[in-house]
Amino acid sequence: MMQFMLLFSRQGKLRLQKWFSAYPDRVKKKTTRELITLVLARKPKMCSFLEWKDLKIVYKRYASLYFCCAIERDDNELLTLETIHRYVELLDKYFGSVCELDIIFNFEKAYFMLDEFLLGGEVQETSKKNVLKAIAAQDLLQEDEAVESALKEYGLY
């Protein structure tokens, strides 16, 4: 299973963190710091996999953002690269050419998307269409609410 996923910028700023097992906060902070340093120090042509403690780290850079996943010893590295890619595609489709700022300003959406795609450290749904459908259904609910509250404001509801 995937243990955790980190998104961070080229400047080493953490943009998103998802932990699939319970880790103490102290360990989370230390791990994040270590991995950001480790991954940022790697050169472009290097292998996307590295061993770290008893986990395997799989990372890939998209524009200014690094996506970095920690998987267990018998997990599949290449497929993890594509798990990352699929998540990027989902974000891209949802935000329309996603950029780092989208993830900063809509971090909660990035989390909701991740929950539809990965759960408990395993891939839940690989169909792009189905994930986006689920998110769209959520958005629909919230739009209803937005209309409702707008109406309320004007005393029409």
How far apart (Å, rounded) are the C-alpha atoms in residues 68 and 5? 6
Shortest Cβ distance from residue 14 to other proteins (Å)?
7
| C-beta of 45 vs 156, nearer to other proteins | 45
Q: How many Å apart are CA 117 and CA 123, to the nearest integer?
A: 6
Instruction: Please tell me the distance from the alpha carbon of residue 115 to that of residue 124, in angstroms, as a whole number.
Output: 9
Q: What's the CA gap between 121 and 1, in Å, rounded? A: 5
Nearer to other proteins, 118 or 156 (CB): 118
Which spans of this chain sit near other proteins (rule: CB under 8 A)? 1, 14, 16-17, 22, 29-30, 33-34, 37-38, 45-54, 73-74, 76-79, 81-83, 85-86, 94-95, 99, 101-102, 104-109, 111-112, 115, 119-130, 134, 137-139, 141-143, 145-146, 149
